[in-house]
Amino acid sequence: MSIEDLGIEYRAELPTAAEFERLFRSSGWTEAVEVAADRLAATLPHAWYSICARHDGQVVGTGFVLSDGVLHALIVNVIVAPEMRGNGIGTEIMKRLIARCRESRVLQVQLFSARGKRGFYERLGFEARPDDGPGMELGGLS
Ligand SMILES: CC(C)(COP(=O)(O)OP(=O)(O)OC[C@H]1O[C@@H](n2cnc3c(N)ncnc32)[C@H](O)[C@@H]1OP(=O)(O)O)[C@@H](O)C(=O)NCCC(=O)NCCS
């Protein structure tokens, strides 16, 4: 089925806190990370750019860019509702986030690939960082 057939509407907007929480809790990440509703809501105003995909008015996909607008951008929370996956919605959200970064000529656009999603991001042009210049993170802060 094509995206046109699905009638998905993409908007450069933030979801409401309730919409985001519903989608976030459908992602499967909450088994590993427990984040209270008020803390999830507190993330939203920090997005530099965001896309919502809607089907019949309901949010079925999100994606956000955290950025300084010049040097760095981090793509986060690319989530599609489980029942809507595999229809190109995640790809379309990513394309729009990338286009916005390109428009501002942001130097480095980065993301963390969830397990099993490497191919999804490689098809969009992302490459794993080299072994001698890896992405690194500080664990154990939650
Ligand atoms: C990752 C995620 C956002 C992808 O969203 P999606 O809407 O399913 O993505 P797409 O439909 O664009 O692509 C998914 C697959 O469907 C395929 N596909 C895309 N359009 C398609 C179409 N019209 N018909 C059939 N298959 C299609 C793609 O080739 C892709 O294959 P892959 O799984 O081997 O990469 C979604 O799986 C998700 O929300 N997962 C949980 C949260 C998560 O892990 N997010 C990523 C954090 S790094």
Residues 23-73: tens digit of each pLDDT: 999 998 876 678 999 999 999 999 999 999 999 999 999 999 999 999 999
- Please name the helix (run of DSSP H) or strand (run of DSSP E) that holds residue 42, with its range, or none: helix 37-43
What is the reported pLDDT for 30? 72
How sure is the predictor about 139, in pLDDT bands with cuts at 50, 70 and 90?
confident
CA 9 to chain centre: 16
The residues with which 61 forms a beta bridge, in sequence order, are 53, 80
What is the reported pLDDT for 29? 82
What is the reported pLDDT for 5? 63
Kindly tell me if the per-residue pLDDT of 107 is higher than 80.
yes
| Residue 64 CA: distances (Å) to CA of 13, 77, 114 | 10, 6, 15
Ligand 1 centroid – CA 76 distance (Å): 15
| First vs last C-alpha separation in the chain | 41
Please name the CATH architecture into which domain 3-122 falls. Answer: 3-Layer(aba) Sandwich (3.40)
Annotated domain spans of the chain: 3-122
pLDDT in tens, 65-104: 999 999 999 999 999 999 999 999 999 999 999 999 999 9
CA 111 to ligand 1: nearest atom: 48
* Ligand 1 binding pocket mutation candidate from 30, 65, 79 (most atoms within 8 A of CB): 79
What is the reported pLDDT for 74? 98
What is the reported pLDDT for 4? 58
Residue nearest atom 10 in ligand 1 by C-alpha distance = 88
What is the reported pLDDT for 19? 98
What is the reported pLDDT for 140? 73
CA distance linking residue 66 with residue 75, whole number of Å? 6
